[in-house]
Amino acid sequence: MNRSYSKIRHMQESNERLEKRMLSEQNIDNRKVYLSKGYVDVTDGFNNETYALQIVDGPYECDGSGYSFRIVTNDNKDTGYVVVISSGVRGMITGPITVSDNGASIDLGEWGNSFQSLLYNEKLNQVKK
């Protein structure tokens, strides 16, 4: 009898730890995490058309999961850009996305409706204009 009670209690404790971890993952402000890593928020300038992406026009891929993804080239070179989205995604976030108008426009495809922030870290850009 003690053994089965012990197993049940162990499962309850494991479930509680898992729930706490999942809740803490959801509460993380990805924007703040990236800003602390040297990224700059360029959302306002991009939305007001005063900012152009520092990458050439063309198709790009997404690399990420959860609430954010990096914009990378087809051969996985980092552009220095990260898109933060408002709804989390289980699994990998995939593209394609398209940059046009000399970097003034970006089509995020299925992620456009969830767009929240555009962040940039020039030091990470491997494909500058």
**Selected residue with higher pLDDT from 48 and 19:** 48
Cis peptide before 59 (omega within 30 of 0): no
Banded pLDDT at 61 (limits 50, 70, 90): very high
**Three-state DSSP string of the chain:** CHHHHHHHHHHHHHHHHHHHHHHHHHHCCHHHHHHHCCCEECHHHHHCCCCCCCECCEEEEEEEEEEEEEEECCCCCEEEEEEEEEEEEEEEECCCEEEECCCCEEECHHHHHHEEEEEECHHHCCCEC
CA–CA distance, 103 with 129 (Å, rounded to integer): 9
- pLDDT single digits (tens) 20-43: 665 555 556 788 888 889 999 999
Examine the pLDDT at 1 and tell me if it is beyond 90.
no
Examine the pLDDT at 127 and tell me if it is beyond 70.
yes
pLDDT score, position 111: 82
Examine the pLDDT at 96 and tell me if it is beyond 60.
yes
Cβ atoms of residues 109 and 96 within 8 Å: yes
